[in-house]
Structure 1
Amino acid sequence: MPFVQISMARGKSPEYLEAVSQAVHDALVAELSMKPGDRFQIIEQHDPGELRFNRDFRGGPRSDDWIVFTITHGIDRSEPAKRRFYKTLVRLLQESPGVRPADVFVKMTVTPPENFSFADGVIGTDTAAAEALDAAAKISGTRSAYTQTELANAVTALLERSDRSPILPMLRDDVVLKVPTTLPYGGEFTGPTAFDGFFARFGRSDVWESFAISLDEIIESDKHLIARLTNNGVLKASGKTVVFQNLWLFEVTDGKLAHVQLYADTAAAQNPAG
């Protein structure tokens, strides 16, 4: 996602500002493969004396209409793509609103996705992983392996929002889910269909009046994902509220989930009377 800061002298009309905004947006879409809806810009206008620049250094002569584009991007682009972008940008600006090419100054920087948070305190790597999963889900059979970040994002969706759709394509055909048999809903479940069925009814057993999960953290390693949970349930038999912790262990083989096991505080569910 390119983030664009545009700096210029104060006093330009709304039409001028809109034309500048549109020109840099169109150039990014055309030459750097930016999504058309991905538009984040800040336009800053400065009073006399607040823009200081050499009129002739490596270009020029620059006028009082000098304009600066500072573009921060999460993905580095090739030199040929950047060459095309610079040329397209000055051409579009010259066409409208009439900015002279000599007055166009561009500074591009690259920062990794983890240095972005687009909203809600979500790190940019998780956002990128979710977008990749959504895109893959629209084209069946295109993914044979997933990254740790993508897997962690899918586990989060499963346990935090009861959304099973991201994780199902990540399961091996022979995936095994083990839940302690001392639990009313325990047992061993093999295959994605059985996995899906278990989580479709998870927390809806005859034991619980209500059951809420809080995902405390996900710990990642090369071969495993560990999800630590705090559960808050109301027992049907007694109406008592119990709070207890569980741990889900997800084993990763060749970029897919091969084995899932719940380590639970079974005593909380074994004593319906509370």
Structure 2
Amino acid sequence: MPFVDISLVRGTSPEYRRAVSRAVHDALVTELTMKPDDDFQLIHELEPSAMVFPRDFRGGPRSRDWTVIRITDGLERGPQAKRRFYTTLVRLLGADPGIDPADVFVMMTLTPPENFSFADGVIGTDVVAIEALDAAAQNPGSRESYTKDEIAYAITQLFAHRDTSRILPMLRDDYVMSLPESLPYGGDYTGRETFEDFFAKTPGGADVWESFSSHVEQVIEADGYFAVQLTNTAVPKATGVPVVLYNLWLFEVTGGRIGGIRLYADTARVRG
């Protein structure tokens, strides 16, 4: 996830810039466990007059080859890993393209994953969750608990796309899903197969609705619960008249697993 911004004095060769890029990337992969294909960099060349620095403050002596490397990371790596990274970085830069360690200036900034979007308008927390859940899917039973971001992503996928694959492993064996008895499909549901079957089709089935679509307004996490606000647009088979239904789903999470699910259907806010 690190994003790297490198500033050099104007006049370096393409080979020089490639060597700097490679050294920074290799140091990140080696010491900060960055994925080899996670390689986002911008390299700038500046006029000497645009690079202002003291020759001997807290290091040096610095030369015309002063190199500034700014790294924005989404994960806290810890001081020991950073210490190793700085040491490896100056060693690699010294080997090729031959930058003196005194000329290497590094700044690392931590920003949470939600401040990243790699492409397609997808928030960084979802990207991290997808990668973690994909890895878990390759090793069934390898995860005993899930993070808040992973659960929030799985819940969003459930309602936005009726995709149960992400959330099924998160259900506790003794989970209970409770729906209001006033609904045609009200009652308590248990078991993963029952859960999967319920969300595989329109709630209540074709006997109740001609069409039914859901929009996730927001997912809020607090004190071991996830509250999901939905706006549903549907056409009841009985009337054929489109209606808008407002629902709140509450997911209870204990130890990183979902133990209880409850639907609150706001019939007072049904709009025809």
State how far apart, in whole Å, the 1-side matches of 2:93 and 2:7 are: 14
Inter-partner Cα distance in structure 2 for 1:28 and 1:79: 14
- Show the counterpart of 2:157: 157
Paired with 1:207 and 1:116, the residues of 2 have a C-alpha distance of 42
The question of whether the paired residues in 2 share the 8 Å contact of 1:184 and 1:205 is answered with: no
Alignment of 1:249-268 (within 5 A): 249-265=250-266
Question: What is residue 225 of structure 2 aligned with on the other side?
Answer: 224
TM-score, normalised on structure 1? 0.87
Deviation at 1:265, TM superposition (A): 4.7
2:48–2:64 Cα contact (<8 Å) kept = no
CA pair 60-253 structure 1, distance change in 2 beyond 3 A: closer
Identical positions, percent: 60
Contact 2:212 2:235 in 1 (8 A): yes
The answer as to whether partners of 2:230 and 2:248 remain within 8 angstroms in 1 is: yes
Separation in structure 2 between the aligned mates of residue 211 and residue 86 of structure 1, nearest angstrom: 56
* Structure 2 spans left out of the alignment, 5+ residues: none
The reply to whether residue 52 of structure 1 matches residue 52 of structure 2 is: yes
Aligned to 2:2: 2
Does the aligned pair in 2 maintain the 1:242–1:268 contact within 8 Å? no
Q: Please give the alpha-carbon distance, in whole angstroms, between the structure 1 residues aligned to 2:30 and 2:162.
A: 39
CA contact (8 A) 2:202 2:209 kept: no
CA contact (8 A) 2:245 2:267 kept: no
Mapped partners of 1:112, 1:30: distance in 2: 22
State the alpha-carbon separation in 1 of the partners of residues 253 and 79 from structure 2: 37
Q: Structure 2 length normalisation: TM-score?
A: 0.87
2:248 corresponding residue in structure 1:
247
Give, in whole Å, the separation in 2 of the partners of 1:102 and 1:250.
Answer: 54
> Given that residues 126 and 149 in structure 1 are in contact (C-alpha distance below 8 angstroms), is that contact kept between their aligned partners in structure 2?
yes
Q: Decide whether the 8 Å contact of 1:172 with 1:192 is kept in 2.
A: no
1:25 aligns with 2:25: yes
Matches within 5 A, 1:1-274: 1-203=1-203, 204-236=205-237, 239-265=240-266
Length, aligned pairs only: 270
CA distance in 2, matches of 1:268, 1:237: 19
Calculate the aligned-residue CA RMSD, in Å.
2.5
SS at match of 1:264: strand
Q: Structure 1 80/227 Cα, relative in aligned 2: closer, same or farther at 3 Å?
A: closer
Post-superposition shift, 1:266?
Answer: 5.8
Deviation string, structure 1 residues 54-82 (Cα, Å, up to 9, x no partner): 22333333222211111122223343322
| Aligned AA (2:214) | I
